[in-house]
Chains A and B, each alone.
Chain A
Amino acid sequence: MDVKRPLVWLPLAGFLLVAIVVAVALYAPADRTVRSAMIGQPLPAFNLRPIVSTKPGVASDAMKGHGPRLLNIFASWCVPCIAEAPQLMRLRQAGVRIDAVAIRDTGPAVAGFLRRNGDPYAAIGDDPSSAVQLSLGSSGVPETFLIDGQGIVRRQWVGDIRADQVDEVLAAVRDVQ
């Protein structure tokens, strides 16, 4: 194939482009967290049965017309959820209402988890096949959503809320009040 002058630099240019892409990915790795696309959207409709006898289940309708609250996606089999428990207790003590969705869990296991790690929850819904989790665009446990008084999803925290994030969560809750 006859090669035109400027064309001979095309392969090098193409390669450098690839190298730049790769270098950027290497030095400034993009955030790989899978985030929900539901922020700013109304909470999808659901009605979960209670998983422990001492607490009510969770329904989306019940979240409208009251103050803001956190919706914590957790499971008794989830290790980071144990690490997160003290932070949720602090938030509870600061007056934040926390509802929970227990993923693929059983009543006795959740009751045991609450006994060991403290109980910050006002209500816990049973989500045996992650249906509500999927409808929220959540991809793992633990995750926490902030729902405002109109039932709109305002924020999402992926992974356990760490001790240094508690103030940020509190501020976010106050912001939507």
Chain B
Amino acid sequence: MIAEAGLAALWLAASLALLQLALAAIGLRAQRNADELLVAVRPVAIVQGALAVVAMLLLIVLFQQSDMSVKLVATNSHSAKPWLYKVAGAWGNHEGSMLLWVTILGLAGAAVARFERQLEPRTLAATLGAQGLIALGFYAFLLFSSNPFERLSPAPRDGQGLNPILQDPGLAFHPPTLYAGYVGLSVAFSFAVGALVTRDVGRAFARAMRPWVLGAWVFLTLGITAGSYWAYYELGWGGWWFWDPVENASLMPWLAATALLHSVTVLATRDGLRAWTVMLAVVAFSMSMIGTFLVRSGILTSVHAFAVDPERGAFILALLLLYIGGALALFALRVGTVREGTTFELVSREGGLVANNLLLSVILGIVLIGTLYPIVAAAFGVQLSVGPPFFNKAAGPIALVLVVVMAAGPLLRWRRDKAGEVVERLTWPIAAAVFAFAALVAFATPIGVLPLLGLSLAVGLAVASVAPLWKRDLRRTPLFTWGMVVAHLGLAVSLAGMACDSAFTAERLVALRAGEATRVGPWRVSFAGLSPVIGDNWSGLQARLTAERDGRTRLLFPQSRTFADPPTVTSESAIATVLDGQLYTVLGAADGQGRWQLRLWWKPFVTLIWLGGTLVALGGALSLVGRLRPRRREAWT
């Protein structure tokens, strides 16, 4: 019954999405007396979103009840699974995660319908119409090729279980957050399409779009940060970013959204970069959709593998052609009618933001080309691999230039500035960066060029990012300025973490007998022995490690787990987090002579990577709150 109700909710939501599109289209075509039609779009969008939520909740109930007569539950769940993973398991598979994707899409549309008050009514109707069109395609995808509520007859006695690597709290948090970011960008996309339809690209449009972009960007940042940490502790080799296609798929929308976030500010403040902002709004969500497609089509090989099915891939490809192709064609046809805004002086805040956009877009292009290049080469019969060395070499230097722009940008004046004065304002950041560089060269063990520059620039950026608060009454500083400061500082923190990890990590690979000890970095790690452990649906071995440093000890229990359904062995790392870094331990195989393989890493300041990512998201959230309270802001400034 529940499955049928869920399916019914999906069909109903799909019909409402169609209605939403139709009302907007008819209302916009009619020359007069169409206000009722345009007004009616709002409630339809809200109910459509609510129905999608109902369908998602019903799927979660099915998973929670372990209803094995539902095919999706039977193939991806197991009655012996812990409760949390039963719930999160609802989106630990292709159909369920697609439903989650569509649910967030519906919710985003509903939120626009409910809360958006700044946009001109015709543009809002066009926006909701576009949102309805996108939703319609993805409902069709669910209903016709990825039905999560399909029944299985006869029902099996028990399910096949969830991929053990997904059985982790990360699954409960990472996909919903990331999807909220991906799909939240659909609002910016629909805004851009709506504005192109009604030829209404200007400051009001930018002001209305900005909070939605910020919101999506905050989720995207959190989702990527969480995903990186999840991969870090789950994959068991101490890496936190692999330039894997699936990771790139999440990075590309983030890069586009970051650029959009900055260009929309230029449009809102100075009425410049009109066409460019619309373009980025289209590109950001397009990257989300292309990312979703690449992950699910199975045409790229990835560690974070997903459902592989060419038929579904073809369906999404058709949707992409329709939406992205349509939006880009609309852009090309209409952008001529969008009057270009003001132009700027090279040395000005606007100039800095253009440089930011340019560099972010180039990095985006590099990631896109690098990710797709092996497929292109394969089509010509050439097998090759593009991975971390390429991305680091190609995007690394550009990212470092971007860091310099980031440091200088907020200290530039709007309209026009003088280069000499800018350098003067940057005295302290430059001094800090030079000092860090000199100290690293003089005292640290030799480190690579990229980490060396990265760490020095991170120090400079950290100083520069708090400079806008200098000599300011902090209580009267607007919240969005705080947001910018925190976000830029967060990026400096994260960059410092990346550079420290790559420069100072100490590695110890060793085979030990019980009672033996070894050293890694400042730690002395002794192996007390192994003991068996039993989980809900796995059994395994756990090493007892004692890590000592400066008289203080920490206990670590890395595990090797064996799952029965499906049969898999995973290693669970054990991590000791201290103020200045993490000790990362993994239990490997036995060597047949009574010794056990251990992998130990001391990673100084590695936690800064994710702390920084969280700060970046926090900065975005502060800005968002600041932008959503315009009255208070005026009172402050």
Residues of A within 8 A of B (CB): 1-3, 5, 8-9, 11-12, 15-16, 18-19, 21-30, 32, 34-35
Chain B residues with CB under 8 Å of A5's CB are 336
CB within 8 Å of A: which residues of B?
Answer: 273, 275-276, 279, 282-283, 286, 290, 293-294, 297, 299, 301, 310, 313-314, 317, 320-321, 324-325, 328-329, 331-332, 335-336, 340, 343, 354, 368, 372, 375-376, 378-379, 381, 383
Q: Which residues of A are found within 8 Å of B368, using beta-carbon distances?
A: 18
Are the C-beta atoms of A8 and B310 separated by less than 8 Å? no
Q: Is the interface of A mostly helix, strand, loop or mixed?
A: helix
Q: How long is the Cα–Cα vector from A15 to B297 in the complex, in angstroms?
A: 17
Contact A12 B275 (CB under 8 A): no
Q: Which of B340, B375, B383 contacts A3 (CB 8 A)?
A: B340
| Given A24-B379, A32-B301: 11 more A-B contacts, CB < 8 Å | A3-B336, A8-B336, A11-B282, A11-B331, A12-B329, A12-B331, A12-B332, A15-B328, A18-B368, A21-B379, A30-B379
- What are the 3 tightest A-B residue pairs by CB atom distance, in nearest-first order? A30-B378, A12-B328, A25-B299
CA distance A2 to B335 in the complex (A): 10
Given contacts A26-B310, A30-B378, contact A19 B331 (CB under 8 A): no
16 example contacts (A-B, Cβ-Cβ < 8 A) are as follows A1-B276, A1-B340, A2-B340, A3-B335, A3-B336, A11-B328, A15-B286, A18-B290, A18-B372, A19-B321, A22-B372, A29-B299, A30-B378, A30-B379, A30-B381, A34-B383
Contact A19 B301 (CB under 8 A): no
Name the A residues within 8 Å of B290 (CB-CB): 18
Residues of A within 8 A of B317 (CB): 19, 22-23, 26
Question: Residues of B contacting A9 with CB < 8 Å?
Answer: 332
Compute how far the CA of A95 lies from the CA of B376 in the bound complex, rounded to whole angstroms: 43
- Residue among A1, A29, A32 with max Cβ neighbours from chain B (10 Å): A1
Interface of B is mostly: helix
Contact B275 A1 (CB under 8 A): yes
Among B275, B299, B335, residue most surrounded by chain A Cβ atoms (within 10 Å): B299
B558 to chain A, nearest CB (A): 25
A25's partner among B335, B379, B383 (CB-CB below 8 A) is B379
| Residue numbers in A under 8 Å from B299 (CB-CB) | 22, 25-26, 29
Complex alpha-carbon distance, A37 and B331, angstroms: 47
Report Cα–Cα, A176/B225, bound state, in Å. 57
Bound CA–CA A11/B364 (angstroms): 14
Most chain B beta-carbon contacts within 10 A, residue among A11, A16, A29, A35? A11
Contact check, A16 vs B325: say whether CB atoms are below 8 A apart.
Answer: yes
Contact A11 B279 (CB under 8 A): yes
Q: Please state if B375 and A22 are interface contacts (CB–CB under 8 Å).
A: yes
List, in ascending order, chain B residues with CB within 8 A of A3's CB. 275, 335-336, 340
CB pair A27 B310 closer than 8 Å: yes
> B337 to nearest A CB, angstroms?
11
For B321, list chain A residues within 8 Å (CB).
Answer: 19
CB distance from A111 to the nearest CB of B (A): 19
Contacts of A35 in B (CB 8 A): 383
Q: Which residue of chain B is the closest to A9 with respect to CB atoms?
A: B332
Q: Which residues of B lie under 8 Å from residue A11 when comparing CB positions?
A: 279, 282-283, 328, 331-332
A173 to B314, CA, bound (A): 42
Interchain CB contact (< 8 A) of B313 among A15, A18, A26, A34: A26
Chain B residues with CB below 8 A from A24, complex form: 375, 379
Q: How far is the CA of A12 from the CA of B329 in the complex (A)?
A: 6
Q: Are B335 and A22 in contact (CB under 8 A)?
A: no
Residue in contact with B297 in the complex, picked from A8, A18, A26, CB distance below 8 Å: A26
Considering the complex, give the chain A residue whose CB is closest to the CB of B321: A19
User: Looking across the interface, which residue of chain A has its beta carbon closest to that of B283?
Assistant: A11
Minimal Cβ-Cβ distance residue in A for B376 = A21
Specify the chain A residue showing the minimal Cβ separation from B277.
A1
CA distance A15 to B331 in the complex (A): 13
Residues of B within 8 A of A30 (CB): 375, 378-379, 381, 383
Choice from A1, A12, A21, A27 contacting B273 with Cβ under 8 Å: A1
A34 to B301, alpha carbons, bound, how many Å? 13
Residues of A contacting B375 in the complex (Cβ-Cβ under 8 angstroms): 21-22, 24-25, 30
Q: Which A residues are in CB contact (< 8 Å) with B320?
A: 19
* B314 partner residues in chain A, CB cutoff 8 A: 26-27
The smallest beta-carbon distance between A19 and chain B, in angstroms, is: 6
B332-A8 in contact (CB<8A): yes
Q: Is the CB of A15 within 8 A of B324?
A: yes
